[in-house]
Amino acid sequence: MPDTNLTYIPDDGFVFAGNKTSLNQTGLLPILSTLRYFSQRWARKFCYTFQVVKGGKYLVRTIYFYGGFDGGKEPPVFDQIIGGTKWSTVNTTEDYANGLSSYYEIIVRAHLKTLSVCFARNRHTAKNSSPFISAIELLTLEDSMYNATDFDSLALVTVARSSFGSEDSISFPDDPYYRFWQPFTDKNEVVSSQTKVTTSEFWNKPPEVIFTKAIAAGAGKELEISWPPGSLPATKYHISLYFQDNRSPGDDAWRVFTVEINGKAFYNNVKVSTGGVSIYSPGWPLSGQTQISLSPDAKSSAGPLINAGEIYQILPFGRRTLTREVGVMEELARGFDHPPADWAGDPCLPKDNSWTGITCSEKDMRTRIISVWLGGNNISGSIPDLSSLQMLETLHLENNSFTGKIPESLGRLPNLREVLLRDNNLEGSIPSNLVDKKGLRLE
C-alpha cells in the first residue's frame, strides 16, 4: 500500500463500539500499528458515522492489517457495509500470509449529511474472531469524476486501478485525489513517453504520471493483456482505459486501433495522439478472466499501446430507511447513556444487520420502522418525540431506567397497537390520547 502522506486523526467520536489495541510489530506504517476490533458477538453491525456534504461524491477506503491482534494465526473474515448496503466481504488472509496489508475502495454519493461505514460478522467469521479495522479514509472527489454512473442508485467498487509499464505505485501528490494506481507489467514491451499529457480536461482527472509509461506492441502487431488479474464474478463493470502516443509530436504521431474485451468490440478505431485519450463503458458485462486485445488499423504508422486502466464493479446503492425515521432513531440513540453497540448506521438495512430490537417493513420501495423492542436493556435517558415513526406498531421500553415524561406524541401514532413502559422512572401522568386510544395494549 502506498504511503499517501495523509494526516490521520484518532477514531474517537466517529464510533462508540469496539476496543482499541496496538500491534507489537516493528517496521509498520503508523496507520497499521493500531486497530479497533469488535468482539460483541450478539451485535448485528458496528458502524463509524462521518459528517459529509449531502450530494458530495466520496472515495471510501478501508485498510486492514491483522497482526495477530487476537492471538490467532489467520485474519477474521467478515462483511463491510456502507449506508444500508452490503459493500463486500473482507478476506485479507492471502495478503496477510504474504506480509501485506489490504485495502478496499468504493465510490459513492452521500445521500444524507452523514455517511456510515460498518462491519459485521457473517457465516464465515470464526467463532472466536472479531471484525476489525486499521484505518478508514474518506476522500472527496469532484462531481465530474466518473459521472457516467448514476450515483443516485449505484456505487463503484474498485476492482483494479493500474498504471501499465510502471514499476512503482502512484498516489498523492501525483494523484491529488489520493487514488492508488498499482504497477502492472507482463511479457509485452514497455515504452516511455516523449510528451507530457495535460489531464485537466479528462473527465475523471487521471494523474499525468500514468502517461509516462505504456505497454506496447510493434507496428502491425496485436497487443493482448490479461487484466485485471484474477477471476471476476458475473456482473456489470465500469471500465476506463487510457492511451497516449508516446512519440514526439508530429504529423505521424498518432495510432489507430480497435479495442476488444473477451472477443467483443469495446471501441472501434480509437485514434490516439500525443495529447492522450480515454475511452470507457459505464456498464460492461464481465465474467471470469478478462482478456483485452488491441488490433492496429492497417494504415496506422505504429502499433497499439495502453497506459492505464480502471475497473469498478457496479453495485446497487442508495436503499435506506426513510430519512425522517432515521433522524428519530438517531435522536433516540443519542439520548441513551449506553445504547446497544449496533445502534449506528441505517436502523433497518441491510435487512440482516438492522439495529438490535428494531423490526422494519418495506412497502412501495420504502423501508419503515414498525417495531422498537428494547425491554430490559439497562437503558437510561428520556423518551424522545417518536411522531415521525408513522408506521410504528409496537413499542417496548419496559424494565429500563427511562426518566422524564411520556411524550404525548405517542398517542398520535395511527398504527400503534402495543406500548409497554412499566418498570421505569418516568414522571407525570400518562397522556390521555394514549389512555383513550382504541385497540391499544398499554402497560
Residue (of 217, 209, 266, 270) closest to 239 by Cα position: 266
CA 179 to CA 156: how far, in whole Å? 14
Residue (of 378, 381, 294, 287) closest to 332 by Cα position: 381
Based on the number of CB atoms within 10 Å of its own CB, is 435 exposed (0-12), middle (13-18) or buried (19 or more)?
exposed
Contact (Cβ atoms closer than 8 angstroms) between residue 178 and residue 4:
yes
Contact (Cβ atoms closer than 8 angstroms) between residue 57 and residue 151:
yes
The 8 Å CB, 24+ separation contacts for 373-379 are 374/340, 374/400, 375/399, 375/400, 375/420, 376/400, 377/340, 378/338, 379/336, 379/337, 379/338, 379/339
Neighbours of 42 (CB within 10 A): 9
Residue (of 108, 120, 94, 181) closest to 145 by Cα position: 108
pLDDT of residue 37: 98
DSSP string, 196-220: PPP-TTSTT---GGGGSEEEE--TT
Question: Reduced to 3 states, what is the DSSP secondary structure of residue 341?
Answer: coil
pLDDT of residue 384: 85
pLDDT of residue 347: 96
Bridge partners (DSSP) of residue 252 are none
The 8 Å CB, 24+ separation contacts for 412-416 are 412/387, 413/386, 413/387, 413/389, 414/390, 415/370, 415/390, 415/391, 416/392, 416/440
Q: What is the dihedral of CA 91, 92, 95, 98, to 10 degrees?
A: -120
Residue 314 has which C-alpha cell? 457496479
Q: What is the mean pLDDT of each successive set of 10 residues along the chain, which is 443 residues long? A: 76 95 93 97 96 97 97 96 97 97 98 96 94 98 95 97 96 95 96 93 94 95 96 98 91 87 97 95 98 93 95 93 91 81 95 95 88 89 90 96 93 95 95 93 93
Question: Reduced to 3 states, what is the DSSP secondary structure of residue 380?
Answer: strand
DSSP string, 111-169: SSSEEEEEEE--TTS-TT---EESEEEEEEE-TTTTTTS-TTTEEEEEEEEEEET-SS-
- Rounded to a whole number of angstroms, the distance between the first and last alpha carbons of the chain is 57
Domains of the chain in start order, with CATH, are 19-141 (2.60.120.430), 158-316 (2.60.120.260), 323-442 (3.80.10.10)
Contact (Cβ atoms closer than 8 angstroms) between residue 134 and residue 11:
no
Buried/exposed 228-258: b ≥16 CB within 10 Å, e otherwise: beeebeeebbbbbbbbbbbbeeeeebbbbbb
DSSP string, 354-368: PPTTEEEEEETTEEE
pLDDT of residue 209: 97
pLDDT of residue 250: 77
Dihedrals φ, ψ of 129, to 5°? -110, 165
How do beta strands 418-420 and 441-442 pair?
parallel
Contact (Cβ atoms closer than 8 angstroms) between residue 1 and residue 34:
no
CA 440 to CA 423: how far, in whole Å? 19
Q: Which residue has the cell 465474467?
A: 287
Contact (Cβ atoms closer than 8 angstroms) between residue 144 and residue 199:
no
Tell me which DSSP letter residue 408 carries: G
Dmax (CA) for the chain in angstroms is 90
Model confidence, pTM: 0.93
Q: Which residues contact 309 (CB under 8 A, 6 or more apart)?
A: 160, 161, 162, 164, 227, 228, 239, 240, 241, 242, 292
Contact (Cβ atoms closer than 8 angstroms) between residue 258 and residue 268:
yes
pLDDT of residue 412: 93
